[in-house]
C-alpha cells in the first residue's frame, strides 16, 4: 500500500509541475521550488538524524534516510502554490492561508502515521508538523519578499543608469 501511495504522490507531483512553471513568474517559482527543496531536505535530515521521525518505506531507501518525494517534490510544489496564493496579501491573510496548508498537512500526517508505514513518529507530533510546515512556508515567503525587494532596487538602478 505504501509504495502505491508514494507512486500516486509522485505522479500527482509530476503532473502538477508543468502547470506551476509557466507564465511571467517562472524564474521566481523555480527559486521557490528549489529553495524549499533544500530547506525541507535540511530540516528533514536533522529530524531523521536526531531520531524524531523515521521513514520505514521510502524511495531509494539504501541511499536516503529521508523521503525525497516529500522533500524534493511535494513540499516544494505546495510552497509554490502557497506563495502564488499569498503573493500580494498582507500578513493577516498570509497567516490565514498558511493554515490552509499546515492544518491539513498535520492531520494527514497524523492519519498516515497511525495507518501506514510511510513514517513513524518517535519524538514527533502533529504540532511539530504544524510548526515545521509553517516555519518553512514563512521562511520561503520571506525569501521571496527579499527577492522582490532586490528586484525593485535593481529595477530602480537600471532606470538611473
Parent domain of 102: 2-15+25-160
Q: Using the predicted structure, report yes or no on whether residue 44 has a pLDDT greater than 50.
A: yes
| pLDDT for the residue 42 | 94
Domain count, the chain: 1
Assigned domain for 139 exists:
yes
| 62: β partners | none
Q: Using the predicted structure, report yes or no on whether residue 156 has a pLDDT greater than 70.
A: no
Assigned domain for 120 exists:
yes
Report H helices in 50-125. Answer: 68-69, 75-86, 91-115
Show the cell assigned to 25: 513568474
85 CB-near residues (< 8 Å, 6+ apart): 97, 100
Q: How far apart are CA 70 and CA 76, in angstroms?
A: 8
User: Which pLDDT tens digit goes with each residue over 121-146?
Assistant: 999 999 999 999 999 999 998 888 88
The pTM of the full predicted model, rounded to 2 decimals, is 0.85
Q: Give the H/E segment covering residue 47.
A: helix 26-49
Q: Give the H/E segment covering residue 120.
A: strand 120-121
Q: What is the CA radius of gyration of the chain?
A: 17
Assigned domain for 20 exists:
no
Assigned domain for 128 exists:
yes
Amino acid at each position: 500500500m505504501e509504495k502505491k501511495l508514494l507512486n500516486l504522490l509522485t505522479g500527482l507531483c509530476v503532473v502538477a509541475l508543468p502547470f506551476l512553471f509557466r507564465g511571467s513568474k517562472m524564474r521566481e517559482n523555480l527559486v521557490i521550488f528549489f529553495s524549499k527543496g533544500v530547506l525541507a531536505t535540511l530540516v528533514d535530515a536533522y529530524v531523521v538524524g536526531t531520531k524524531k521521525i523515521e521513514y520505514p518505506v521510502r524511495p531509494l531507501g539504501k541511499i536516503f534516510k529521508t523521503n525525497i518525494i516529500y522533500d524534493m517534490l511535494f513540499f516544494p510544489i505546495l510552497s509554490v502554490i502557497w506563495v502564488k496564493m499569498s503573493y500580494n496579501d498582507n500578513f493577516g491573510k498570509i497567516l490565514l492561508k498558511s493554515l490552509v496548508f499546515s492544518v491539513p498537512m498535520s492531520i494527514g500526517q497524523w492519519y498516515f502515521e497511525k495507518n501506514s508505514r510511510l513514517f513513524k513518529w518517535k519524538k514527533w507530533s502533529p504540532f511539530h508538523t504544524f510548526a515545521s510546515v509553517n516555519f518553512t512556508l514563512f521562511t520561503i515567503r520571506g525569501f521571496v519578499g527579499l527577492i522582490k525587494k532586490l528586484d525593485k532596487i535593481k529595477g530602480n538602478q537600471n532606470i538611473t543608469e
